Amino acid sequence: MLFDIRPKSRLKDLYDREKEIDELRQSIDLGEPLIIIYGVRRVGKTSLLRASLNEFGYPYVLIDVREIFEEHSYITKNHLYEQMARFFTSNLELFEKLGYKIKDLLKHTRAFHISGISIEVNPSVNIDLTSIIRTFNDWAKKHNTRFIIAFDEAQYLRFSGATRYNGIFAWSYDNLENLTIIVTGSEIGVLRDFLKLDDPKAPLYGRYVREIILNKFTPEQSREFLKKGFNELGINIPDHEIDEVINKLDGIPGWLTLYGYYRGVQKLDHRKALDKVFEIGSKLVIEELEKIIAPSKQRYLAILEAITHGATKWSQIKTYVEYKTKTRIADKNFTDLLKKLVKYGIIEKQEDQYKITDPLIVYAIKAMVSR
């Protein structure tokens, strides 16, 4: 159902993403080696990726890089291998349905140990990631298919020490004809900086990369999404309630889904459901924000507070921040602060104006300031 709060795993459960699905399918069918899916938090990148890979018919492995970072605060190749092993164990039946004997593939990598129906990382073997993905490519070539390695929230790979993933991706691009790498990122600027796509001295510079942008829903899409979701549940919601949800949640599918779940599945009334979205959602947002703004919390908070109060231009925001923090800030330093918030997807710049990307960030900022 549309209001399932977990990431979707079937294409029929995605709403109005046909264009992005078709572009992703076309890119893989064409054998393009590197695909990037961008989008702000909770816009549906993981759902698009999982549902598409589940149904496109290609063998693949999906690695949730953020999950690794949240658990360990850094990322090693063994962490990646452990996620691969769990993924293969959980999806053996899927690969069998697709006609692929993944166990035969994994035997050739030497990085994995197969025990019955369980796949585990072989602790006694030190294997480079390039060796593993070369094995995936050779196996796919032998079976006349493509193998896909997907890194969800790939910007967290920057916490991998000396490992240069942009170099690994470039090597794969040049040498592995039957392998496609897909990366997603909600911190768009951070991901681009990590991959160094615009750096002439970096490995990926000048190579064609398919870039797919997942946008927030328009008001019309939000309305149809909500109506369709409630129709699935046999519920009729008054238009004025839907109008308020559209106005307050700004087309972010994750928050619209959460509202639909509280309203339609848990049977809360409109006000309680909407309040619940802001209560639960703001806690998640605050947790994320705290990590991002920690290096200069007072200034970042003042910037975000300024924007919530209606300051949208560089000069307006700077004036507010200097007044709030009682300090002078050099123009370059202030611009760098704004750029960082843009890179992390917290604010966006449209022409010469800045806007917060998520209405729950506005709510969270007010909560943080009032503490």
pLDDT digits (tens, 9 = 90+) for 234-244: 999 999 999 99
Q: How far apart are CA 114 and CA 118, in angstroms?
A: 6
Lowest mean pLDDT among 15-29, 65-79, 89-103: 89-103
Give me the sheet containing 34-38, strands edge to edge: 60-64, 147-152, 179-185, 34-38, 210-213
Task: Give ∠ CA 190-196-200 in degrees, rounded to 5.
Answer: 150
pLDDT at 151 over 80: yes
**In the chain, helix, strand, coil percent, each to 5?**
60, 10, 30
**What's the token pair of residue 278?**
């802001």
Q: How far apart are CA 357 and CA 333, in angstroms?
A: 22
- CB neighbour class for 176 (10 Å; exposed up to 12, middle 13-18, buried from 19): buried
pLDDT bin (cut points 50, 70, 90) of residue 123 is: confident
Q: How far apart are CA 54 and CA 58, in angstroms?
A: 8
Position 125 scores a pLDDT of 72
Cβ neighbors of 332 (< 8 A, separation 6 or more) are none
pLDDT bin (cut points 50, 70, 90) of residue 366 is: confident
- CB neighbour class for 202 (10 Å; exposed up to 12, middle 13-18, buried from 19): middle
Q: How far apart are CA 194 and CA 255, in angstroms?
A: 28
Q: How far apart are CA 78 and CA 142, in angstroms?
A: 27
Query: Under DSSP, is residue 136 helix (H, G, I), strand (E, B) or coil?
Result: helix
Give strand pairing partners of 356.
347
Q: pLDDT tens across 41-84, in order?
A: 999 999 999 999 999 999 999 999 999 999 999 999 999 999 99
Q: Which among 94, 87, 105, 93 has a CA at the least distance from the CA of 54? A: 94
**What's the token pair of residue 82?**
């452990």
Contact between 150 and 182 (Cβ < 8 Å): yes
Query: Under DSSP, is residue 353 helix (H, G, I), strand (E, B) or coil?
Result: strand
pLDDT at 168 over 90: yes
Position 93 scores a pLDDT of 85
Contact between 68 and 75 (Cβ < 8 Å): yes
Query: Under DSSP, is residue 183 helix (H, G, I), strand (E, B) or coil?
Result: strand
pLDDT bin (cut points 50, 70, 90) of residue 371 is: low
pTM (two decimals): 0.92
- CB neighbour class for 99 (10 Å; exposed up to 12, middle 13-18, buried from 19): exposed
Q: Mean pLDDT in the chain?
A: 94
**What's the token pair of residue 27?**
């890119």
